[in-house]
Amino acid sequence: MSGARPSALGAQLDLLAFALGALGRRGGRTWALVGGLASAMALLSAVVFLTEALRAEAARARANAPDLVVQRLVGGRPALVDVASAEALRPLPGVASVRPRVWGYLFLASLQGNVTIVGGSGAPAAGAPGGAPPADGGAALAQGVMLRGPGECVLGLRLAEALGVRVGDKVAFPAAGGDEHGPGTALRVVGLFSSPVALWTSDVALVHDDDARTLLGVPPGAATDLALALTNPDESAVVAKKTLLALPGARVLERRLLERVHTLSYGRRAGFVLGASLPALLALLALAWDRLSGLGPAERREIAVLKAAGWSTADVVAEKLYEALLVGAGAGALGLVAGYLWAFALGAPGLREVLAGWSVLYPDTRLTPAVDAAQLFGLLALVTAPYLALSVGPAWRAATLDPLEAMRQG
């Protein structure tokens, strides 16, 4: 240690600085350990970052979903619902509005994929669930205007790209039943959804209710489902029960439960990936243990010199633990940054397909990070803590070396 007797904090900083220097002197071994631990951390953190980002994205739109969606089931499958049944729900206490919705899927052979056709009235009541946005469309549109009436459509960016159309063009959709050669429906593109909403709208064609009926073959008087807005969303469970009494056999979906669905769904997928990568992490820690346990001749000589120069056993143990802390925390931080860049800067290649899903009209938008300090430090502890724990035994063994014996062997 340095000439004047240092304070306790100063002594620890000296040990930390010495540990950094010692790691530098064994550069090859240090970088091998840092590289291995950082790779494991990058994988773990990328999975967690991506999962949390997906949950957060799903939550962003959830606030604007209907409080309840009522479907009709036939043989366990969703079937068209009678628009007149909306009248049975409107008088229920707590129901603010009921909107029959027409939406569905249309297979486009040219894309080899489904397009989601969503009907909108063009002039919905303010705040009505499932209604089209206000006429100006706001920032939801990259170009053009929002739907004004029949014969028009607003397309998702990815869908418009795939079809090769722009605002002002006409796009021909096949007739109901998927007859590509039959008389289709031509709609003028009046707007394109903007990229910030591409995660929700990339495969969507927003059309007038009448056009949606034509495209999907939904007869007048029928709808895909009913969207309910409640005066108090906290009463959704009560209103759901009353809805089931009013419409026996209906299926009622609560927005409140959707949060649980998204959390479980993404959490389960992340669990699969993390479970598969656990053996790799354990193998890495076993390798680290092996590396830490073996003291080379140079290291033995160094410890012998330090003890001969007056270092106590506690000093050597502390120095060795600081080495482990620097390697573990440094590798962890490096892995965190790598995982972050993998997930958000590069778009998580190799992981996104497993965790996020697939689609023919896949949105190009990058996911938004939804991490907080607790997550970051929790992840860091996940790798650093086991590594530190593993290093205690080897540090003690190194510290209890007899200096004379070590000198002779070295």
Partner 1 sequence: MSGRARLAAPCLLAAALAAPLPLALHARAARAADAPAIARAAAALPWPDLALGGGARHLRFLSLEEPAAAFADGPAVVDADPAGGSLAPPAAVWAESAAPKP
Kindly identify the residues of this chain, within the stretch 53-112, that bind partner 1 according to CB under 8 A: 54, 57-58, 60-65, 69, 71, 73, 76-78, 101, 103, 105, 107, 109, 112
Q: Of residues 297-336, which lie at the interface with partner 1 (CB under 8 A)?
A: 322, 326, 329-330, 333-334, 336
Tell me if 116 contacts partner 1 by CB under 8 A.
yes
Q: Of residues 200-219, which lie at the interface with partner 1 (CB under 8 A)?
A: 200-204, 206
SS3 at position 323: helix
Which two tokens mark 266?
A: 């993404």
CA-derived radius of gyration, the chain? 31
Rounded to whole angstroms, the Cα distance separating 239 from 98 reads 12
Give min distance, CB of 120 to partner 1, in A.
6
From 183-191, 300-308, 364-372, 400-408, give the range in contact with partner 1 by CB under 8 A.
Answer: 364-372
Cα angle for residues 34, 39, 41 (degrees, 5° grid): 95
Give min distance, CB of 16 to partner 1, in A.
5
Give min distance, CB of 256 to partner 1, in A.
10
Q: 223 - beta bridge partners?
A: 81
Rounded to whole angstroms, the Cα distance separating 124 from 121 reads 6
From 289-297, 304-312, 375-383, 385-393, give the range in contact with partner 1 by CB under 8 A.
Answer: 375-383
Q: 117 - beta bridge partners?
A: 104, 205
Give 129 or 394: the residue with its C-beta nearer to partner 1: 129
For strand 113-120 and strand 204-208, is the pairing parallel, antiparallel, or unpaired? parallel
Q: Is 393 left (phi over 0), alpha (psi -120 to 50) or beta?
A: alpha
Q: Of residues 263-302, which lie at the interface with partner 1 (CB under 8 A)?
A: 264-265, 268-269, 272
Q: From the list 81, 356, 395, 398, which residue makes contact with partner 1 (rule: CB under 8 A)?
A: 356
DSSP string, 225-274: EEEEEESSGGGHHHHHHHHHHHSTTEEEEEHHHHHHHHHHHHHHHHHHHH
Give min distance, CB of 215 to partner 1, in A.
14
Q: From the list 293, 359, 400, 409, which residue makes contact with partner 1 (rule: CB under 8 A)?
A: 359
Answer for the pair 326, 20: CB distance below 8 angstroms, yes or no: yes
119-122 contact pairs (CB < 8 A, 24+): 119/207, 119/208, 119/209, 119/211, 119/212, 119/213, 120/147, 120/206, 120/207, 120/208, 120/209, 121/208, 121/209, 122/147, 122/148, 122/149, 122/208
For partner 1 (CB under 8 A), the number of binding residues is: 112
Q: Of residues 218-247, which lie at the interface with partner 1 (CB under 8 A)?
A: 224-225, 227, 240, 244
Rounded to whole angstroms, the Cα distance separating 118 from 153 reads 10
Give 209 or 401: the residue with its C-beta nearer to partner 1: 209
Tell me if 188 contacts partner 1 by CB under 8 A.
no
Rounded to whole angstroms, the Cα distance separating 407 from 367 reads 57
Q: Of residues 135-174, which lie at the interface with partner 1 (CB under 8 A)?
A: 137-140, 156, 174
Give min distance, CB of 280 to partner 1, in A.
19
Q: From the list 222, 258, 287, 305, which residue makes contact with partner 1 (rule: CB under 8 A)?
A: 258
Tell me if 179 contacts partner 1 by CB under 8 A.
yes
From 127-135, 208-216, 291-299, 397-405, give the range in contact with partner 1 by CB under 8 A.
Answer: 127-135
Residues with Cβ within 8 Å of 95's Cβ and at least 6 positions away in sequence, in order, are 89, 228, 229, 230, 231, 239
Give 311 or 322: the residue with its C-beta nearer to partner 1: 322
Return the DSSP state at 336: H
Answer for the pair 117, 209: CB distance below 8 angstroms, yes or no: no
From 184-192, 215-223, 255-263, 288-296, give the range in contact with partner 1 by CB under 8 A.
Answer: 255-263
Q: From the list 29, 32, 82, 133, which residue makes contact with partner 1 (rule: CB under 8 A)?
A: 133
User: Nearest Cα to 315, choosing from 18, 58, 4?
Assistant: 18
From 89-97, 128-136, 164-172, 393-401, give the range in contact with partner 1 by CB under 8 A.
Answer: 128-136
Give 204 or 292: the residue with its C-beta nearer to partner 1: 204
Give min distance, CB of 208 to partner 1, in A.
12
